Amino acid sequence: MIPRDHPRYRSLVARERLARCAREGVVALEGLAAHGRGEAFDYLIGEKTTRSAALAERTAAAMLLSARHAVISVNGNTAALAAAEIAALQRASGADIEVNLFHRTEERMEQIIRLLTEHGARVLSGNAERIVPLSHDRALSLPEGIGDADLVLVPLEDGDRCAALRKMGKTVITIDLNPLSRTARTANLTIVDEVTRAIPAITAACTTLEPGEGERLIASLDNTYLLRAAIDEMRENLSHALE
């Protein structure tokens, strides 16, 4: 039992949940290492949503709402950390949800679909085909889901798949605490924020965008600026770290 007054309560609860989900098979063991990398970058941004991340989150909401067919691609870590938040984003944005795994087994696919469904999400399922140009199983997608999407939101993604989705002409939004990752640099829009903060912020923005704001945000999207701003925030935090 983690005491509520522990200064690192949130982080310890997230770790405990990931460890439990790893024991159950929802999270791949490799996902624990990926989370540790994310935590390190979260320290550097001060474990809060930065100004540039908030801008990216509003822009993501505008893009999701104006897409012809938006799909949220969910992996094990995202499902373990943010199943209810994903379901709420689906309600606010009207996006479809599809599970796509790096470490794919039919059993994990079913477990993750079940977890998301239990939290109120409607998850696409059916016969996946090798749609995305990758030799790996992440190519497996639903023709009526990611296959048809013009926009895909891929939290905690791997760079190869992000590049392959872009090669197919899709717009890719990612959530990645590491602004230097290949995914962060390949996506059309990168949100450098922790997934459990980022997704509720996108959901909130879906209902609070002012008339005309979405068009303005999309027209002024500059991902290199957003990545530089995230790195600047980290540098700034580091320079005050020991004060």
**176 is an interface residue for ligand PTJ by CB under 6 A:** yes
CA distance 75 to 78: 6
- The least CB distance from residue 129 to ligand PTJ, in Å, is 18
Asked whether position 74 contacts ligand PTJ by CB under 6 A, the answer is no
List % helix, strand, coil for the chain (3-state, nearest 5).
55, 10, 35
Rule CB under 6 A: say whether 34 interacts with ligand PTJ: yes
Extended beta strands in the chain, E state: 70-74, 96-99, 129-130, 140-141, 151-155, 171-175, 189-191
Decide if 14 contacts 196 (C-beta within 8 A): yes
Single residue of 21, 31, 83, 145 touching ligand PTJ by CB under 6 A: 31
Burial class (CB in 10 A: 0-12, 13-18, 19+), 5: exposed
- Binding of ligand PTJ by 41 (CB under 6 A): yes
Kindly state whether residue 194 participates in binding ligand PTJ, applying the rule CB under 6 A: yes
Nearest CA among 163, 128, 125, 133 for reference residue 143: 128
By CB under 6 A, residue 60 contacts ligand PTJ: no
Residue length, the chain? 243
Q: Which stretch binds ligand PTJ (CB under 6 A): 47-55, 99-107, 141-149, 227-235?
A: 99-107
Q: Is 167 in the site for ligand PTJ (CB under 6 A)?
A: no
Half-sphere exposure of 141 (CA within 13 A, CB side): 26
Q: How far is CA 135 from the centre of its chain?
A: 23
Q: Which of 73, 111, 141, 178 binds ligand PTJ (CB under 6 A)?
A: 178
Binding of ligand PTJ by 76 (CB under 6 A): yes
Nearer to ligand PTJ, 41 or 214 (CB): 41
Q: Is 190 in the site for ligand PTJ (CB under 6 A)?
A: no
User: Which residues contact ligand PTJ (rule: CB under 6 A)?
Assistant: 28, 30-31, 34-35, 37-38, 41, 75-77, 81, 101-103, 156, 158, 175-178, 181, 194-195
